[in-house]
Amino acid sequence: MITIGNVKIGGGHFAIIAGPCSVESEEQILEVAKSVKASGAAMLRGGAFKLRTSPYDFQGMKAEGLELLLKAKEKTGMPVVTEIISAGHLPLFEDVDVIQIGARNMQNIELLKAVGKTGKPVLLKRGFASTLEELLMSAEYIMSEGNKNVILCERGIRTFETYTRNTLDLSAIPALRELTDLPVIVDPSHATGKASLVESMALAAVAAGADGLMIEVHNNPAEALCDGPQALTPEQFAHVAAKAFQIRRVLE
C-alpha cells in the first residue's frame, strides 16, 4: 500500500487518477479538477512536460503548466500526478505528489535512479515494447535507491493491431500480482486511444483486480491540444467512475 496525502492505493485500497493529457490553461485544469473530484477521483493528473512523437506537436506548458497544476492542487486539495522527462527538472517537482515516468522513459535508467533518490511516490508506466520482467527491473532501479513507493501502470503495448492505439494487456494485472506486492493500475485511455473504448477497458481492469485507474478527462475533448480522441468528458468520466466503484464493491 502506498499513501499519498489522504489517498491510499494498493493493499486493498482502490483509487482513480483523472485529468487532462496536458495542462492547457488555468481555467481548463481547474474545471477538470473540480469535476473529476466530484465524481470520486482521488488524484489529479495533468502533463506539463510532454514527450510527443512529433517535434511539431504541442510540447506542454512546461514550468508554467506545473504551476497551474499545483494551483489546482491547492484549490481542490487533490494530490497531483505529472510526468518528468529530465532529471534536471526535479527541483520544479518539489510540490508534486506523484512523479510519473512515461512509457518512453521506462528504461531511462539515470532518470529512474534520480526519482528513486527523491523518495517521492513514482507512477511507472510500462514501455509499449517492454516485458513485465523489464517493467519490474525498472521498478527495482527506483527501489534500489531506497524509494519503495512505486505504482506500476499498464497502459497498453504495441501489437500488429492498429484499430486501437495500443493493445491493453489485461493479463498483466494478475501476472504482476503474482510477481510483486507493488500496486498495479491501468490506463485505458492510452491503451485504446479511443474514448468510446475507455469505459469497457476501465471496468475490465477493475474486474481483473487493478488497484486503480488513470483516465484522461478534458472539458472539451474536440479542442484538446493533446490526445483529444481518447479523452472523456467530465460527464462520461462520472459515469465510468461510478461503474468502476460498483465493480470494485462487487469484488470486495
Most distant CA pair in the chain, distance: 47
Give the shortest CB-190-to-ligand PEP separation in angstroms: 4
- The CB density around residue 185, as the number of other CB atoms within 10 Å, is 24
**Interaction partner, residue 154 (Mn ion, ligand PEP, none; CB < 5-8 Å by kind):** none
| Residue bearing cell 493529457 | 21
Site for ligand PEP in 191-250 (CB under 6 A): none
Count interface residues toward ligand PEP (CB under 6 A).
9
Q: Is 63 helix (H, G, I), strand (E, B) or coil?
A: helix
Binding ligand PEP by CB under 6 A: which of 21, 41, 168, 240? 21
One-letter amino acid for residue 42 of the chain: A
Cα Rg of the chain (Å, integer): 16
One-letter amino acid for residue 215 of the chain: I
**Interaction partner, residue 46 (Mn ion, ligand PEP, none; CB < 5-8 Å by kind):** none
Give the shortest CB-127-to-Mn ion separation in angstroms: 15
Question: Residue 104 and residue 165: Cα distance in Å, rounded?
Answer: 15
Does residue 120 bind ligand PEP (CB under 6 A)? Answer: no
- Write out the three cell numbers for 16: 482513480
Residue with the closest Cβ to ligand PEP?
102
Does residue 79 bind ligand PEP (CB under 6 A)? Answer: no
Contacts with ligand PEP by CB under 6 A lie at: 21, 47, 83, 102-104, 125, 155, 190
